[in-house]
Amino acid sequence: MNDIQFAFIDESGDYSFDFENNDVSTHFILVAVLAKESNKEWLEQEVEKVRQKFFHTEEMQSDKMNNPHLRIQLLNDLKDLPFNIYAYVVDKRKIREDSGITFEKTFIKFMNRLVYDDLNRTFDQLDLVLKELGTKEFMTEFKTYISERSVPDLFNYSTFGFNQSKSEILLQLANFIAGTIAKGYDQTQYSEYYPLFNKIIKKKIIAINLWPQNYKNYLDDYISRNQDSPFDEVIFKQSVNLTLQYLEKNKKSEDADERIRVDLLKFLLFNLRENPNEYVFTQEILDNLNAIRVNKINHHYFRSNIVSKLRDSGLLIASSNKGYKLPVCLSDLYDFVHLSSLTIHPMIQRISKCRNQILLATNNEIDILEHNEYEYLKRIIEMEKITVHD
């Protein structure tokens, strides 16, 4: 059996839609702290040290830490430990009243299905761990929902389900991370320090899945900060809509490469929400994608089989010497064109020089671009000659 991956799950927020009550959360947040079995014991020891340092005899609970500077110190103590974060952030305010899920019971059932389907597609194997005592209603329903669908093997082990694994301290870690993410989304918990929190734990985050999936969920925050070009909103909308359509179309794909592409787009969407104007270095993306994979992806495979195929499908992915991002403005597209031209133009010139040498050596009898499939290259080269002469 491979190194088992655990998911320690906790939540932030409530299930109510009575927003006239100031105590009702605007968002429901679910966090899975991912850890490998080979790291679990050491991780527990290190997180316990952090708990004792900041909470002494109390549990490490997010709502027990109101000092943002202490939270920053704590996150810095956690940032190099071997765990990752996979999360869901639901903006309850943007769920239509006519959708039928703006009632607590139906909302919980809907979220059970949404989270189960996504986790089951994303992870080949996952050993889920929830808090046993004092569990909230969502967690109780979620455990029942998954238990009914998990299939144990001959050794009574479910590759995706609950296997009686426990770790109170890592569940506390999940609670603290959920509460930290809430400070960037939930209006009842919002903190101006969230960008600093996010900067510390960003490399630990595999994905923050925003729901409902609508480009406006990403656009509103961006437009409030950027008013550069009248075309930027059009580019932003097209970029995000194409990405969301691709995710919806391919979310159930069993193809290994397609699943990598889906995970990449989720990560780029997360980066767009948090840092819409920043590129992500290729190595950071690979670290993110490889965190949940046994077979690791290298740079060449990433470029040729993942990014290139997405672009072949019509998706907009900008790139520069600083990495990749979803384009949100005209300058992002110019970055992509510029970087591509640095490769395309020299290659065309080399083909042209090679062609000229063979034409010269054979007295124009052999043209290496004479086949129909190279007609477009011949036209480009001939047009370039005309431009140079003009």
Cβ neighbours, 10 Å, residue 131: 18
Average pLDDT over residues 13-28: 90
Average pLDDT over residues 164-186: 93
Round to whole Å and give the CA distance between 8 and 94: 28
Round to whole Å and give the CA distance between 43 and 85: 14
Q: Of 212, 235, 264, which one is at a domain's C-terminal end?
A: 212
> How many angstroms from the chain centroid is the CA of residue 257?
16
Whichever domain contains 85, its CATH number is: 3.30.420
Determine the 3-state secondary structure of 209 from DSSP: strand
Task: Compare 157 and 282 and report the one with higher pLDDT.
Answer: 282
Q: What tens digit of pLDDT does each residue of 39-51 get?
A: 999 999 999 999 9
In this predicted structure, what is the pLDDT of residue 70? 97
Residues 61 and 147 in one domain: yes
Residues 35 and 93 in one domain: yes
Element (H, E) at 39: helix 37-55
Is the pLDDT at 71 greater than 90? The verdict is yes
> How many angstroms from the chain centroid is the CA of residue 43?
24
Determine the 3-state secondary structure of 11 from DSSP: strand
Round to whole Å and give the CA distance between 26 and 92: 6
In this predicted structure, what is the pLDDT of residue 220? 60
For residue 323, tell me if it sits in a domain.
no
Q: What tens digit of pLDDT does each residue of 193-232 get?
A: 999 999 999 989 998 888 887 766 666 655 555 555 677 8
* Domain assignment of residue 291, given as a range: 215-315
Residues 73 and 128 in one domain: yes
For residue 325, tell me if it sits in a domain.
no
Average pLDDT over residues 99-104: 79
Task: Compare 349 and 154 and report the one with higher pLDDT.
Answer: 349
In this predicted structure, what is the pLDDT of residue 41? 94
Helices (H), 79-226: 104-122, 137-149, 168-185, 194-201, 215-225
In this predicted structure, what is the pLDDT of residue 123? 86
Among 339, 358, 353, smallest CA distance to 384 is for: 353
14 and 99 Cβ atoms separated by less than 8 Å: no
Average pLDDT over residues 316-344: 89
Share of the chain above pLDDT 90, in %: 46
Is the pLDDT at 120 greater than 70? The verdict is yes
For residue 203, tell me if it sits in a domain.
yes
Tokens of 168: 């109170």
For residue 38, tell me if it sits in a domain.
yes
What does the radius of gyration of the chain's CA atoms come to, in whole angstroms?
A: 25
Report the interhelical angle of 232-250 vs 256-274 (nearest 10°): 150
The pTM of the full predicted model, rounded to 2 decimals, is 0.80
**Peptide bond preceding 82 in cis form (omega within 30 of 0):** no
Round to whole Å and give the CA distance between 129 and 161: 9
262 and 247 Cβ atoms separated by less than 8 Å: yes
In this predicted structure, what is the pLDDT of residue 387? 58
> How many angstroms from the chain centroid is the CA of residue 59?
30
In this predicted structure, what is the pLDDT of residue 293? 83
Tokens of 316: 């907009």
Is the pLDDT at 375 greater than 70? The verdict is yes
Average pLDDT over residues 91-105: 80
**pLDDT winner (highest mean) among 71-85, 93-107, 253-267, 293-307:** 71-85
> For the chain, what is the domain count?
3
Is the pLDDT at 150 greater than 80? The verdict is no
For residue 187, tell me if it sits in a domain.
yes
pLDDT tier at 282 (50, 70, 90 boundaries)? very high
Determine the 3-state secondary structure of 250 from DSSP: helix
In this predicted structure, what is the pLDDT of residue 155? 61
In this predicted structure, what is the pLDDT of residue 300? 94
- Least confident window among 13-17, 121-125, 169-173, 320-324: 121-125
> How many angstroms from the chain centroid is the CA of residue 20?
32
